[in-house]
Structures are given as structure tokens and as C-alpha cells.
Structure 1
Amino acid sequence: MTLSLEWIDEREGGAGAREEQWMDMLEKLLKIAGEKEEFTTGIVTLTLTDDEGIRELNRQYRGLDKPTDVLSFSLLEGEQPDIQYDGDYEGSEEGDEEWKDEDKAGDPFSDLLGDIVISVPRAEAQAEDYGHSFERELGFLFVHGFLHLLGYDHGDEEQEREMFAKQEEVLKEAGLIR
């Protein structure tokens, strides 16, 4: 298995040709960031939403009743997520021989790294505010969210410097400069 991106568009009207181009860029960013972090297997789910959709998630999971630009929900850190698995899942089409870790054998959720949710209207507004392209802002938010999935945070100045330096390195390699 490789590092892969699955995406959902919850916005009214859904995805179109423009969004398909975004996914190519985001898959490239995922590959670069994954290689830099020596994390090359797993599944990342990206949900594109609007300000109201992300506001609801922000309220529900962080207690903040306001929209934000990106949220990350890691399945790697802390306590195990409250996902119920009843053992009836058939596994991948390739069969159970694909499972390398016996503790995770047959568990359909073991390859999931987590979910990233991005507010597209907020990304568009921030791109304009910061004077760079929408693609650069979307890429920044995606890499930011991915690093959160891996356990990075920006709770203090040192953590913030480290995380933002990693983000900029990935974006630069992908050609998404300010």
C-alpha cells in the first residue's frame, strides 16, 4: 500500500473540473510531505466544505462556534477513535495476505491516518488577504492538516517554527511559493 488521498466535496454543487486539478496538486503534496516525514503508507481523507460545515465541526469537536480554515482528525495519536468494528468486513480485494501486522489483520480502519477538513471559501478569502494564489493557500492548509495528523502542533513558538518550516519546505518543493 502507498500513501493515498481520498476526497469528498460537501459543498453545494459539489466538485467539478477545477477540483479535479486541486486533487492532482494535493496528491503531489501528500507524496512530498509523506516522503519527508518517512511516512509512505496509509490513507488520508480530505473533505472540502463551506464555512457553515466547518463551523459545525469546530463547534462540535473543539467547542468553538465559529468557522476556521482547516481541521484535522488524526487516527494515529492519543486514545483509539470510537470506531466500532464487528469483524464482518471482508478486507481488501487483494485479500488478507496484504496485512503485515497481525494485530491489525482484517481491521478495515488500520490504514486510515485521519481526516482533513478544509473550508474552501475561507481558503479563497485567505489567499486574497495574503496576496498569493488559491492553490498555494489550499496546499498550505492541506500540508498543515497532514502534519497535524502525524502529531505536529504549534502550541508554542518552537513547535510553530518547526511545523511552519516543514510546511514551507514541502510547498517550495512543489513550486507553491508566495
Structure 2
Amino acid sequence: MISFNYETDFKLNNPHAVSQWISKTIEEENRTEGEINYIFCNDEYLYKINVDFLNHDTLTDIISFDYSVGNELHGDIYISIDRVKENANDFAVDFQDELARVMIHGVLHYCGYKDKLEHEAKTMRRKEDFYLGRR
């Protein structure tokens, strides 16, 4: 089950459609959907999590905590709406498109995709683009 939680005034436009899109992505990656919680927040909220849990003294757009068991995906995905807005502006893309990219990025990590190395990041970007085209 996919749930959306809000620690900011932001609300998804069509949460049911977004949830269906994410569920279909999980299915196409040959995984099983478990409990996945999206928590939308601001920079301050996510910065505190980044410092307290990851010892990273930086702003970020997403932090995901993966509790998956085998192929059954579980986790908490925190997304800073402030960062997504700024990134959309910096990359000259639509806010909704950037938000969708970040949301699917978290799920793709749960599916086993990495992005630390250059070749991993390219694969991740291709997967993001593929699933963005399917929403």
C-alpha cells in the first residue's frame, strides 16, 4: 500500500493516479508492493533527518529508508518540496515532472538500482525516464 503524508502545506493533485503509477512501476520491476510511505516536507524538516540519521550536513531533495524484505518493497521516502521546486527551476523543467522523477527515484532504489557511480546513475536516469513516460 502506498500512502502520502504531508508535513507541509503541499498536497498531490491526484494521489490515486500517482499511487497507481507507482504500483505499476513496482509490478513491472517484478517486485511486490508492501508498505511505502511518502512524506512530503520542507528543507528544514529533511535537513534535520539528513543530519540526525545520515550525518550529512547538506540539503537534499529525497531521503529514503528501505525496509524491504526480499522482493517485497517497504520503506519511507521523504521529499523536500522546497528542493524539488528549486531543482525544477534550476533544470528548467515543470515542477510536477521533477516531483514525479524524485518520487519514482526512491522506488527504483528499493528495486535495487544505485546511483553512486557514473554508470549506475546513467542506468537510474534511463529507468526514471522510462517510467516517467508511462505516467
Moved over 3 A (4+): none
Higher RCO, Cα 8 Å, sep 6+: 1
Amino acid at match of 1:132: V
Query: Structure 2: 5+ residue runs without aligned partners?
Result: none
What is the TM-score of this pair, normalised by structure 2?
0.88
What is the TM-score of this pair, normalised by structure 1?
0.68
Q: Does 1:9 align with 2:6?
A: yes
Query: d(CA) in 2 for partners of 1:24 and 1:133?
Result: 20
Query: d(CA) in 2 for partners of 1:112 and 1:157?
Result: 25
Query: Structure 1: 5+ residue runs without aligned partners?
Result: 78-110
Counterpart mapping for 1:130-149 below 5 A: 130-149=91-110
> What does residue 65 of structure 1 align with?
57
> What does residue 102 of structure 1 align with?
none
Q: CA deviation at 1:161?
A: 1.6
Q: Give the superposed CA RMSD.
A: 2.0
Q: Deviations over 1:64-106 (max 9, x none)?
A: 12220001100027xxxxxxxxxxxxxxxxxxxxxxxxxxxxx
- Identity, in percent, stands at 26
Q: CA deviation at 1:146?
A: 0.9
Count residues with an aligned counterpart: 134
Match of 1:55 among 40, 47, 50: 47
SS in 1 for 2:13: helix
Greater per-residue strand proportion: 2
SS in 2 for 1:43: strand
Larger-gyration structure (1/2)? 1
> What does residue 126 of structure 2 align with?
165
Quick check: 2:33–2:73 contact (8 Å CA) kept in 1?
no
Match of 1:23 among 15, 19, 42: 15
